[in-house]
Amino acid sequence: MDIGSLQRIGWDNKVLKNYNTVDLPLEFCMLQEKASAAFTAWRRESARLGEELADVMLYVTHIAQMAGLDMDHEVKAKVDKNASNPA
């Protein structure tokens, strides 16, 4: 699945379930909570690390959607920029 598809599917799920789609500061707080959960899973060597990182990725795409950004485009542009920077 590409990032753009992930962004659309995740957003459609938020809309369908009537989750937050307008409060951007709240979404950033939720992202911080999910990142903290991922760190805790890593620190405890939990099998849940992958699931927690997936939550982080989904919240990033939710924030992008709220901000009118296409994360597929943004990530590709950033990878290209990083590749052209000297080491």
pLDDT per residue as tens digits for the range 36-85: 999 999 999 999 999 999 999 999 999 999 999 999 999 999 999 999 99
Q: Which of 80, 46, 49, 74 is nearest to 60 (CA)?
A: 74
Alpha-carbon gap, residue 61 to 42, rounded angstroms: 22
Q: Give all domains of the chain, ordered by start, each with its CATH number.
A: 3-72 (1.10.287)
Tell me how far CA of residue 45 lies from CA of 36, 39, 48, in angstroms.
14, 10, 8
pLDDT per residue as tens digits for the range 8-44: 999 999 999 999 999 999 999 999 999 999 999 999 9
Greatest alpha-carbon span in the chain: 45
Structure tokens at 46: 């939990």
